[in-house]
Structure 1
Amino acid sequence: MADAASRLSSLAEQVLGVPLPVRLRAWDGSQAGPPGAPTLVVRNRRALRRILFKPGELGLARAWVSGDLAIEGDLYTALDAMSGLIWERDGDDRTLLQALRDPAVRAAGRELLKLAGPPLPPAPPEEEVRRPRHLHTRHSDRRAISHHYDVGNDFYELVLGPSMVYSCAYWETFDKDATLEAAQRDKLELVCRKLGLREGQRLLDVGCGWGSMALHAAREHGVSVVGVTLSQEQAGYARKRIADEGLTDKVEIRVQDYRDVSDGPFDAISSIGMAEHVGAERYLEYARQLYGLLKPGGRLLNHQIARRPQTDETAYSVDEFIDAYVFPDGELAPIGTTVTQLERAGFEVRDVEALREHYARTLREWVTNLEADWERAVRLTSPGRARVWQLYMAASALAFEHNRIGVNQVLAVRTPPSGASVLPPRSRTWQV
């Protein structure tokens, strides 16, 4: 078909009600759209079928992961330009899903279907996970964690760098010379200082990942650490690191659900980037479990991504792309909800620190690492899996930058029955 790009661009604008903010290049080599803008490459008609049979974020994600769609030019600029069509729904802007439900644009939609070719929905990419969501049983949580984390330690080393910390770093400065490794070290030290760790204390690290927090706390602060994870690959990697540093007498790594930890009490608990996996229905149970594992006077540091409150907080909300490809069963809550649940469990919340801009910078560093060694990343996983991580991290960086999501460190205390204070008068002296 001659000049598919112009026809596709015109039909898309009729459906969406606004000009496309990116340039298009179609499978026949034709191009249309604003000169100099990032180019959305529609490599084949199958890309259109994926979008039309699943309008919205999931259809676009399927086309991206399968390689049917690509972007030429700066990925962040392209995603930013398209955000009003994909994620942001303010004012009168229509998303693709909303538009295709409007009878006034169905004629253009029918023309798009003709342009897309045979009316058969393509099978989703093999990287997609589709199953009943948000069960949060021990079995379903193990499966969800394995899907995300058991994709190969070598792949995570490539993306995360030597620190092997898969959570928001803490940047003293956003200058270009600041390094990810130093920022991750500063984040671990910040957590240790907030917890007031001292030699001889006992720390529980919930969702210990590849052991970085456990190692730092044992090596730098002389505490004994129990780290728990549901990932076999993470546990094996962490145990080797611990043995290599001669800290096996200080650190124990378990493949264990946090709900099954029963050998408290602990002086302190760190939960860094784990609570997003707990689920709304299980969150109070999670908070009560950690409260019960702490000594009176013990501290919890809960580091967790937050979403913005919705108009109707009773409505079910899920990011289709993240749920299907990245964090199955993951759920985000507003920071106010998290604080309330911790207080309901008995905690006294003493400090909340927002690190939204820090996570945006962290994610951009991870994307840089991935793209700098792209061919190896593909060999270590699959082309589709590498594209999943590229899209998810780049889009997440923009989400933090535009305040669609945030991340917070909440310091909470199991206050003694007497009500005695267990924090210094000027607690913010813990800053690194």
Structure 2
Amino acid sequence: MTDAAPRLAALAETLLGAPLPVRIRAWDGSEAGPTAGPTLVLNHRRALRRILWKPGELGLARAWVAGDLTVDGDLFDVLDRVAGLLWERDPAAAAAPPPAGRGKPAALRPHLPARAAGAAALLRDPATRAAVRELVGLARPWTAPPPPPEEAVRRGGPIHSKRRDSQAISHHYDVGNEFYERVLGPSMVYSCAYWSPGGTLEEAQRDKLDLVCRKLGLKEGDRLLDVGCGWGSMVLHAAREYGVRATGVTLSREQAAYARKRIAEEGLTDRIEIRVQDYRDVKDGPYDAISSIGMAEHVGSARYREYAGNLYALLVPGGRLLNHQIARRPEPDEEAYRIDEFIDAYVFPDGELSPVGGTVGELERAGFEVRDVQALREHYALTLRAWVARLEEHWEEAVRLTSPGRARVWLLYMAASALGFEHNRLGVNQVLAVRPGGGGASGLPLRTRTWSA
């Protein structure tokens, strides 16, 4: 029989209380759903087992990483269509009455599997129980599929201990510099670029590095510390264009080796030092300026005050910190915040996002005076789409340099993240803070946005 897709579409409508937002093609070749737009392809009934055993985005991600689930058409379009069922949370929906002719309140449809109480309520409905039984039958045999091998290995030790942070960083960054070259391009900058209309990725990354340098007020002879220096792009730009003496620290040995090679090729070894070192072990201050670009997401909320305090102590009075960090929207109940399962398992183990207000508060509690906050949300969406385009362009090479599963992880992660920024579920901000000098002097000009362009 070739009726799996129509059956799945009917069951999905029963469970979700709405028609499927995207066309599906099942393992038996059958199709169902909207005829316009892309198609979600279940290559094996194992994809359904993965989703049922781990409902929500982690189950879908495992099916995608394993190749059990693919997309025929535009991945962005598919993710956009299913986002409301997985990621978006509408607090107003909880108070909404059930839609006409349907028995399930709207609040139970978005992010359904993560709401245990909502799932229990649904299972009291006979039609829902029957639908679940039929899904289980379609997914046979009813055994738990093992996670794809690209999932993060089990981590040891307390969260955000130095050892565990080193393991987490290695999982994400030590996957091959050549792979990252295919994705990031010649700039080798793995953070939000700063775009101008019609500009290229390389121009936008150069402009971002220069924006940071100008906010920090760098000048000849200054000492700069770049925390989480990656492949060395920031310290190279600052030393070459502003004449600073720079130190970059990273926990990734592959990044450090790559950065040192670039520095030697540009003849700047006398001005730049790269260390494989935890930021908590940097003791050779004071520095005139510190840049932290896309690193603080790895720190963790429990360690953030320690992070801010360490950087404060490393600065001279009047020294500046530029903290460039992804932010999430505040939760109605902040204690209910959970690390995203897919991101934690496959992308950034132990990574945590905080609202920008929390970041500013922690910097202030450490003694910093926060002088400027610039939101770059739309810029990150453009950056991620550019990275996705590069990955798709170099797909065969990327698979060869890593593995099919790892390449699929990065493609899904970057595409979903781009939509997260576009839909305002995520933000990214540059926070400029100063360690006040004598008499509380900030050292900044009266018109502080002299870096705007």
The TM-score bracket by the shorter chain reads: over 0.9
Q: Is the 8 A contact 1:265 1:293 kept in 2?
A: yes
Cross-structure match for 1:381: 402
CA contact (8 A) 2:239 2:245 kept: yes
Note the 1:209-224 alignment, pairs <5 A. 209-224=230-245
- Alignment map for 1:71-90 (pairs within 5 Å): 71-90=71-90
Query: Quick one: distance in 1 between partners of 2:89 and 2:452?
Result: 38
Aligned residue number for residue 191 of structure 2: 167
Report the CA distance between 1:2 and its aligned residue: 2.3
Among 349, 355, 364, the residue aligned to 1:334 = 355
Query: Normalised by the size of structure 2, how large is the TM-score?
Result: 0.93
**1:140: Cα distance to partner?**
0.2
Matched with 1:110 is 133
AA matched with 1:114: G
Deviation per residue, 1:161-208 (Å, 9 max, x gap):
0000000000122x3xx1000000000000000000000110000000
Aligned to 2:317: 296
Q: Quote the offset at 1:125 in angstroms.
A: 0.3
Q: Which residue of 1 aligns with 2:145?
A: 122
Answer yes or no: is the 8 Å Cα contact 1:100–1:106 preserved in 2: no
1:94 equivalent in alignment to 2:117: no
In structure 2, distance between residues paired with 1:361 and 1:334: 21
- More deviation, 397-406/7-16: 7-16
Match of 2:208 in 1: 187
**Which stretch of structure 1 is more off in the superposition, 341-350 or 90-99?**
90-99
Q: Aligned runs of 1:139-178 on 2, under 5 Å?
A: 139-173=163-197, 175=198, 178=199
Superposition pairs of residues 291-330 of structure 1, within 5 angstroms: 291-330=312-351
Q: Deviations over 1:401-423 (max 9, x none)?
A: 00000000000000013112310
Q: Distance in 1 between matches of 2:295 and 2:65?
A: 26
SS of the residue aligned with 1:314? helix
Amino acid at match of 2:164: S
Counterpart CA distance in 2 for 1:421 and 1:228 is: 26
Please tell me whether the aligned partners of residues 434 and 442 of structure 2 are also in contact (alpha carbons under 8 angstroms). no
- Tell me the SS of whatever aligns to 1:267: strand
In the TM superposition, residue 20 of structure 1 has moved relative to its aligned partner by 0.6
Q: Give deviations 1:234-279, integer Å, cap 9, x for gaps.
A: 0000000000000000000000000000000000000000000000
Distance apart, 1:316 and its partner CA: 3.4
Q: Using a 3 Å threshold, how does the CA distance of structure 1 residues 56 and 29 change in structure 2: closer, same or farther?
A: same
Match of 1:47 in 2: 47
Structure 2 residue identity aligned to 1:16:
L
In structure 2, distance between residues paired with 1:100 and 1:384: 31
Q: 5 Å matches for 1:269-418?
A: 269-418=290-439
Out of 260, 266, 271, the residue aligned to residue 250 of structure 1 is 271
Tell me whether 1:265 sits opposite 2:276 in the alignment: no
Q: Alpha-carbon deviation of 1:131?
A: 3.5
Contact 1:25 1:32 in 2 (8 A): yes
User: Helix, strand or coil for the counterpart of 2:110?
Assistant: coil
1:28-47 equivalences in 2 (<5 Å):
28-47=28-47
**Partners of 2:173 and 2:43 in 1: CA distance:** 31
The superposition leaves residues 34-82 of structure 1 with CA deviations (integer Å, 9 ceiling, x where unpaired) of 1112100011110000000111111011000000001111111110000
Q: Which amino acid aligns with 2:247?
A: V
Contact 1:284 1:341 in 2 (8 A): yes
SS of residue matched to 1:304: strand
SS in 2 for 1:227: strand
Shift, 1:130, TM fit: 5.4
Q: Which residue of 1 aligns with 2:63?
A: 63
What amino acid is aligned across from residue 349 of structure 2 in structure 1? P
After superposition, what is the alpha-carbon deviation per residue over 1:128-183, rounded to whole angstroms, capped at 9, x for unaligned? 1254697000000000000000000000000000000000000122x3xx100000
Contact 1:159 1:369 in 2 (8 A): yes
C-alpha contact 1:170 1:183 (8 A) present in aligned 2: yes
Q: C-alpha root-mean-square deviation of aligned residues, in Å?
A: 1.2
Is the 1:4–1:30 contact (alpha carbons within 8 Å) kept by the matching residues of 2? yes
Alignment coverage as a number of residue pairs = 429
Q: Point out where structure 2 has 5 or more consecutive residues left out of the alignment.
A: 94-105
Contact 1:267 1:299 in 2 (8 A): yes
Q: Secondary structure at the match of 1:94?
A: coil
In 2, are the aligned partners of 1:41 and 1:69 still within 8 Å (CA)?
Answer: yes
2:249 to 224, 228, 251: 228
Letter in 1 for 2:425: R
1:431 Cα deviation from its structure 2 partner: 2.0
Amino acid at match of 1:262: K
Distance 1:172 1:424 in 2: 25
For 2:380 and 2:426, how far apart are their aligned partners in 1? 10
How far did residue 16 of structure 1 move?
A: 1.4
Counterparts of 1:85 and 1:52, CA distance in 2:
15
| Alpha-carbon distance in 2 for matches of 1:397, 1:116 | 32
Q: Give secondary structure in 2 for the equivalent of 1:183.
A: helix
Residue type matched to 2:87 in 1? W
Separation of aligned partners in 1, 2:326 and 2:396 = 30
| SS of equivalent to 1:243 | helix
Provide, for residues 8-53 of structure 1, a one-character-per-residue CA deviation record: whole Å limited to 9, x for no partner. 1111111111111000101111111011121000111100000001
- What are structure 1's unaligned runs of at least 5 residues? none
Cα offsets for 1:325-384 (capped at 9, x unmatched): 000000000000000000000000000000000000000000000000111110000000
Counterpart of 2:442 in structure 1 is: 421
The alpha-carbon deviation at position 96 of structure 1 amounts to 4.2
Q: How far, CA to CA, are the matches of 1:107 and 1:154 in structure 2?
A: 50
- Structure 1 residue 317: Cα displacement: 1.4
Q: TM-score, normalised by structure 1?
A: 0.98
Contact 2:2 2:29 (C-alpha < 8 Å) held by counterparts:
no
Shift of 1:315: 2.0
